[in-house]
Structure 1
Amino acid sequence: MIKDTSGQDQVIKQKPKLLKPALAITLMLSVVTWTGFAMFNSDNASMSIDKAQLQLAKVERGNLVRDVAATGKIVAANAPKAYSPEQGFVSLNVKAGDTVEKGQVIAEVESPELNNSLKQQESELARLKGELARSELASRRQALALTKTLDLAQVELNAAERENRRAQLSIEKRLISQIDLEKAVDDLAKAKLTYKHAQQEVELAKDTLSFELQSSKSQVARQQLVVDELQRKVGNLAIKASVSGIVGNLLVQPKAMVVKNQALLTLVDLSAFEAELQVPESYANDLGIGMTVELKIGSEQITGQLSAISPEVNNREVTTRVRFETSDISNIRQNQRLSGRILLENRSDILMVRRGGFLNAGGYVAYKIIGDLAQKTEITTGVTSINHVEVLAGLDAGDEIIISNYDTFKNADALLLR
């Protein structure tokens, strides 16, 4: 019987393949590195973030211009209204949008009552002037009569003096009696007294006539003032433009019945424009008259100064007025929209970083980039501008931080950036 070959078989144990020394060392270092990195990150980073989705900015030193952005519109600095001077029917000589010159008649008010009153007062003035002329004639007549009386008294005085001299000579020559002499002396005294009274009466009469004439003249002057005032009012019925510009809004209809001091239309002075800006209420206490304002009207940059600040707040906004520093501004229109930047303060050589959503967290923390980690760091911020925020503590120049919104970070102490 032939035996099988099982007795001839032998079990051969295969020897394991050995790696090359260099490759074995590389694999070992990689394992150690990844293990250590995983252990480090697991201890310090609670979540990982894609770095491409973040906004980063470096802390730097420079000049920070503290400003506030605002929007507004162009308004006319001089936009007067035309008012009705009296009650009546108005006729408008212009339409909205028409160009007018200063002094041009833009509307007329028809007032029959005022015209009638003027005619009555003019008639009264004419009557008083006639009375004054009559008084002057009567005064001249009375003055002539008084002069005649005074002259007659003078003649009688002269005659009495002659008779007295004749009587004195005659008594010396014993041509007349003592009684005739005494009569001549009495006649002279009587003539002197008559002349003296005539002089006083003439002076008193002249003063009386002068007073009466002055009174008549005062009445005429007073009536003349009444007529002049009515003429002025009638002249004002033709309403003239107070400025050169365009007609804005018509506030009444043509041929409408208007009352005294009722607004008729608005004029817009095209040579005097200002900017009206709406500023957030939070900046109200920082605003001041004379601050520099940079305005952008379309593609044009204009500089102005803050000229007025409203004392009240509407819809959490404060209304301000800006006066342009130059008057040769073209292509601007009433109510044209614009944007502006009010320069509140200029700080030099300060630590600052670009503004971002991280300020929504209050500006107390920031995530500083250290390698592939973003470490949560406490910071202190100062004043802010439209583009930058001042850093007071917690960061140094050259540090890079995340300025994106931190809401998705869940207040993590550290972030792994991948």
Structure 2
Amino acid sequence: MDVIKYKKSRKGLHLALGIVAAFLVLIFFTWVFSNKNQPSLKRDTLRDAVVTRQPFTVEVAGSGHLVAYGTGAVVSLSGGIVRERLVRAGAQVENGDILLRLENPDLVAEHEDALNDLYARRAQVEAEKLQLVTERTRFNSNLQRAELELEEKASELEAKEQLFKSEMPIISRLDYNRVVVEKKLRENTLANEKLLLESFEKSYKAKLSELQYSLNTLENRAARLQRRVNDLNIRSPEAGIVQEVVFHEGDNVNPGQVVLRVVNTEKLYAVAQIPGYEIDKVQVGQKALVRINQENFTGQITRIDPEVKGSTVDVDIELDELPNRYRVNTLVRATIIVMEKTDALVVSRPANSRENAVNNVYVIQDNYAERRAVEFGIGSINTIEILSGLESHERIVISDLTDQVKQAERIRLR
């Protein structure tokens, strides 16, 4: 019995060993098959980066140039032929300096005719005013005489009435009635003189207004022509530097044409061309660093152009301080600070990563890189903020991977 049991136990041992060996072979082939389907990359061909927590600044940069406030255009208010050009491009001028002299004989003659008409009309107006004053004096004299005659006749009537109404009338009724009638006539005369004077006063004021209006019309015409004659000397509207002279001696200039450009170099601002795909980050009021000829100047955004020109957008930057040695169109390099954080979770920007969106990245662990969904925030050219999905000190792949590799959940690193 003991011998038989011993043989059976050896057969069971062999069976168990066979099962274990088969299981190991199955695991081996499964591992081999899975490794064949799993992409692998050489570690030294990949670029990676470590997640860190640090101060984070997002900047947007662009090139541009210096611009003067205002157009600097000097417009001719008169027309004529350029007789003399007193300045050239680059000349320093002060406010009120004569830049060009025009000549226009027809305009000068028209102004002289206007002055002659004005002087003649002034003399005529003075004569008509004197005549009106004389007539007014006559009407007033007639009124005063009528008042005195009425007063005199009233006194006479009062005396006649006492004599007629006494117990023994001294005068006849006929004589008394005559004085009553004469007083009534004097009253009517006074009333008529008052009406005549009131009517004259109304016409007097209207006539004076008419005379003054005709005189003002000629004065305004003469003054307007005088300004046009004065404007034949084209002056600088402000202190600055002559940027461009459009017309030269002998050229014909029409009113309203730009003849020169004078820019005030004491107050310039920068215009930077920012890439259109980054303009959404830029806001009015943000700080900017402007580099001009190896010098740095601070400023802030004052305007963002509403249109895209080519692939960029113009952004105006008001400089805090700028020496007046710089000129219009000097090239600048502007860096706009769109965000500053003293503590942020950041990483070097992976290839083709999208800001403010969830991205798939590969996190390196030992000899593998596993795909993980990570939410990125705002980013700069080389760095991007991590909102969720990664922790400090984790390492990720930042190389640009092929579409086939990106399909894998896991990448083996050799």
Match of 1:16 in 2: none
- The aligned length equals 369
User: Is structure 2 residue 355 aligned with structure 1 residue 359?
Assistant: no
Of the three residues 92, 97, 118, the one matched with 1:99 is 92
Post-superposition shift, 1:294?
A: 1.9
The C-alpha deviation readout for 1:87-139, integer Å capped at 9, x for no partner, is 22234321111011122222233333433332232222222211221122212
Q: Choose 248-257 or 193-202, whichever is displaced more.
A: 193-202
The C-alpha deviation readout for 1:33-64, integer Å capped at 9, x for no partner, is xxxxxx9xx88884546x4x765543211122
Q: Choose 398-407 or 68-77, whichever is displaced more.
A: 398-407
* Residue identity in the other structure for 1:359: A
Q: How does 1:12-411 map to 2 (within 5 A)?
A: 46-48=40-42, 51=44, 56-90=48-82, 91-161=84-154, 163-165=156-158, 167-168=160-161, 171=164, 172=166, 173-324=168-319, 326-329=320-323, 331-355=325-349, 358-360=350-352, 364-366=360-362, 368=364, 370=366, 373=367, 375=369, 377-378=371-372, 380=374, 382=376, 383-392=378-387, 395-401=390-396, 403-406=398-401
Q: Give the structure with higher Rg (CA).
A: 1
1:56/1:400 contact within 8 Å kept:
yes
* Residue identity in the other structure for 2:102: V
Find the aligned partners of 1:177 and 1:275 in 2 and give their Cα distance: 111
Find the aligned partners of 2:171 and 2:386 in 1 and give their Cα distance: 137
The C-alpha deviation readout for 1:186-245, integer Å capped at 9, x for no partner, is 223223322332333234334433332232123223332332233233333322222221
Find the aligned partners of 2:335 and 2:364 in 1 and give their Cα distance: 31
Post-superposition shift, 1:158?
A: 4.9
Normalised by the length of structure 2, the TM-score is 0.77
Secondary structure at the residue paired with 1:255? coil
Find the aligned partners of 2:212 and 2:301 in 1 and give their Cα distance: 58
Match of 2:16 in 1: none
Q: Choose 162-171 or 118-127, whichever is displaced more.
A: 162-171
Question: Kindly tell me: are residues 269 and 407 of structure 1, through their superposed partners in 2, closer, same or farther at Cα, counting changes over 3 Å?
Answer: farther
The C-alpha deviation readout for 1:307-353, integer Å capped at 9, x for no partner, is 111111121211111111x2343543322222222222234533212
Find the aligned partners of 2:230 and 2:62 in 1 and give their Cα distance: 47
Secondary structure at the residue paired with 1:164? helix
Find the aligned partners of 1:377 and 1:119 in 2 and give their Cα distance: 92
Normalised by the length of structure 1, the TM-score is 0.77
Find the aligned partners of 1:87 and 1:167 in 2 and give their Cα distance: 85
Find the aligned partners of 1:391 and 1:156 in 2 and give their Cα distance: 113
1:295/1:338 contact within 8 Å kept:
yes
1:157/1:195 contact within 8 Å kept:
yes
Match of 1:15 in 2: none
1:89/1:110 contact within 8 Å kept:
yes
The C-alpha deviation readout for 1:261-320, integer Å capped at 9, x for no partner, is 111111111111111111111122232211111222232222211111111112121111
2:369/2:412 contact within 8 Å kept:
yes
* Residue identity in the other structure for 1:350: A
Match of 1:31 in 2: none
1:366/1:377 contact within 8 Å kept:
yes
1:368/1:377 contact within 8 Å kept:
no
1:82/1:266 contact within 8 Å kept:
yes
Match of 1:19 in 2: none
1:118/1:231 contact within 8 Å kept:
yes
The C-alpha deviation readout for 1:149-200, integer Å capped at 9, x for no partner, is 3344345435534553554455455554332232232223223322332333
Q: Choose 232-241 or 396-405, whichever is displaced more.
A: 396-405
- Identity between Structure 1 and Structure 2 (%): 23
Secondary structure at the residue paired with 2:153? helix
2:242/2:260 contact within 8 Å kept:
yes
Find the aligned partners of 1:167 and 1:387 in 2 and give their Cα distance: 125
Find the aligned partners of 1:334 and 1:148 in 2 and give their Cα distance: 77
2:361/2:397 contact within 8 Å kept:
no
Find the aligned partners of 1:198 and 1:162 in 2 and give their Cα distance: 21
Secondary structure at the residue paired with 2:329? coil
Find the aligned partners of 1:140 and 1:394 in 2 and give their Cα distance: 101
2:379/2:385 contact within 8 Å kept:
yes
Find the aligned partners of 2:212 and 2:330 in 1 and give their Cα distance: 61
Unaligned runs of 5+ in 1: 1-38
* Residue identity in the other structure for 2:323: I
2:245/2:259 contact within 8 Å kept:
yes
1:247/1:268 contact within 8 Å kept:
yes
